[in-house]
Amino acid sequence: MEEAPSSTRSIAINVKFGGKTIPISIASESTIKDLKSLLLSSTNVLPRKVLEDHNTLGASGLTNGSKLMLLASQGLHQGEGPVLKKAQVVPKLRRDSHSGSSNDANKVPVKNRVERWKVTGVVALSECNLEVIPDEVWACESSARVLDCNNNSIKTLPSAIAHLTGLEKLFINANCLSDESISWEGLTPLKYLTVLSLNQNNLTTLPSALGSLTALRELHVSNNKLVGLPNEIGKLTQLEVLRVNNNRMNTVGESLGNCHSLVEVDFSSNFLSELPETFSSFKNLKALYLSNNAMKSLPSKLFKTCLQLSTLDLHNTEITIDILRQFEGWDDFDERRRNKHQKQLDFRVGVSRDFDEGADKN
């Protein structure tokens, strides 16, 4: 049997990462960009500034049996978020009326907590070691304005959430929610809901029903496994804060440009390489966080039309300060952010005196 031409032969490369060896087989004529794509799927690490994308493996000195060392320092984004120690949830021990404490007379018995929730409007159930939301919560009905179930092990958000017709803020961070376990049919009738926080769960997608929550002003879905946002997010015209950092997004749809009220957007630690031109329509945008992405450029009119923008974080991207200076409107933006930095110094708001350019220098 004749040997296959070298141009079509596969070669084996061993990648050292995290104390393990990951074997990768790739066609010999492939480019560095092709190799990076394989590394991303194998390690969930976004390779940056390592060799030139357009070069072939051979031109870069990679041959059959070559070894690559892939390093990731603490805090560098990987597919499931920054490399950090997992926080341990310590449930609070709440005594009831029979605890025997000398202060029991001043405490409201647990059996009356529904009445307390109704009076205060706040259902506080964070760090209670819960696996489900107690049925008694739904008895609060229109009285509940805030539901805080952070730091539990809750696996489902049932349709009964619709009973809380006056709910304004919903916090279910650091739980065990998945795509299928959230009843969006129960959420959409909540016409007063302004804050929805689902950070640190197991979400991979957000449904089109999200667009029905038209009163939303803040959406927090950081530290999940989201690969994108639904087009219907463009219906959230009152949305002011959008935090989707530490996910797996590689694209942002143009429909987001309809969210004209956005003031702060955090897309840091994803797999984004660009933003749609519709981003330039955010007249109220003040802060944009894009660090730890594959960003190579920005919307061409970002600095010219987003005249409130004063905070831009591009660290650990491929955009350098020299690239930024070529954008129309850069000088005005640069003056705004320097003025903001100086005001922070004047009021001594815990900020370093060293001015941070907001992007890597080279």
**Could you report the per-residue pLDDT of 261-299, keeping only the tens digit for each?**
999 999 999 999 999 999 999 999 999 999 999 999 999
d(CA 190, CA 313): 34
The pTM (predicted TM-score) of the whole model is 0.75
Please check the confidence at residue 91 and state whether its pLDDT lies above 50: no
* Residue reference for tokens 């990648």: 15
Confidence of residue 89 (pLDDT cuts 50, 70, 90): very low
d(CA 339, CA 346): 10
Kind of pairing between the strands at 241-243 and 264-266: parallel
Question: What's residue 139's pLDDT?
Answer: 95
Task: State the CATH class of domain 10-68.
Answer: alpha beta
Four-CA torsion 330, 332, 337, 341, nearest 10 degrees: 130
Question: What's residue 22's pLDDT?
Answer: 76
Question: What's residue 55's pLDDT?
Answer: 72
239-261: pLDDT as tens digits: 999 999 999 999 999 999 999 99
Span 181-209, average pLDDT: 97
Span 170-193, average pLDDT: 97
DSSP 265-316: EE--SS------GGGGG-TT--EEE--SS------TTHHHH-TT--EEE-TT
Q: Measuring CA to CA, which residue among 30, 31, 33, 36 is closest to residue 15?
A: 36
At residue 158, the 3 state secondary structure works out as coil
Question: What's residue 195's pLDDT?
Answer: 98
CATH superfamily, domain 114-341, is Ribonuclease Inhibitor (3.80.10.10)
Question: What's residue 233's pLDDT?
Answer: 97
Q: Cα-flanking dihedrals φ and ψ of residue 243, to 5°?
A: -120, 110
Question: What's residue 129's pLDDT?
Answer: 96
Please check the confidence at residue 142 and state whether its pLDDT lies above 60: yes
For 47-75, b/e burial (b = at least 16 CB within 10 A) is beeebeeeeebeeeebeeeeebeeebeee
Mean pLDDT rounded to a whole number for the chain: 82
Span 136-161, average pLDDT: 97
Q: Are 204 and 225 in contact (CB under 8 A)?
A: yes
Residues whose CB is less than 8 angstroms from the CB of residue 240 and which lie 6 or more positions away in sequence, other chains included = 217, 218, 261, 262, 263, 264, 284
Please check the confidence at residue 13 and state whether its pLDDT lies above 80: no
Each domain of the chain, given as residue ranges in start order, spans: 10-68, 114-341
Span 55-59, average pLDDT: 72
Confidence of residue 9 (pLDDT cuts 50, 70, 90): confident
CB atoms within 10 A of CB 293: 28
Q: Which residues make beta-bridge pairs with 196?
A: 170, 219
CB atoms within 10 A of CB 135: 9
278 token code pair: 């519709």
Please check the confidence at residue 104 and state whether its pLDDT lies above 60: no
Share of the chain above pLDDT 70, in %: 74
Question: What's residue 199's pLDDT?
Answer: 98
Higher pLDDT, 341 or 169: 169
Helix (H) and strand (E) counts in the chain: 6, 14
d(CA 23, CA 19): 13
Question: What's residue 238's pLDDT?
Answer: 98
* Residue reference for tokens 């790739």: 26
221-236: pLDDT as tens digits: 999 999 999 999 999 9
Please check the confidence at residue 133 and state whether its pLDDT lies above 50: yes
Higher pLDDT, 6 or 143: 143
Span 31-39, average pLDDT: 71
Question: What's residue 103's pLDDT?
Answer: 42
Question: What's residue 16's pLDDT?
Answer: 74
Kind of pairing between the strands at 122-124 and 146-148: parallel
* Residue reference for tokens 């939303």: 216
Question: What's residue 254's pLDDT?
Answer: 96
Q: Are 130 and 152 in contact (CB under 8 A)?
A: yes
Strands (DSSP E) contained in the chain are 10-17, 20-27, 67-69, 77-78, 81-82, 122-124, 146-148, 169-171, 195-197, 218-220, 241-243, 264-266, 287-289, 311-313
Q: Measuring CA to CA, which residue among 264, 352, 359, 351 is closest to residue 313?
A: 359
Please check the confidence at residue 209 and state whether its pLDDT lies above 90: yes
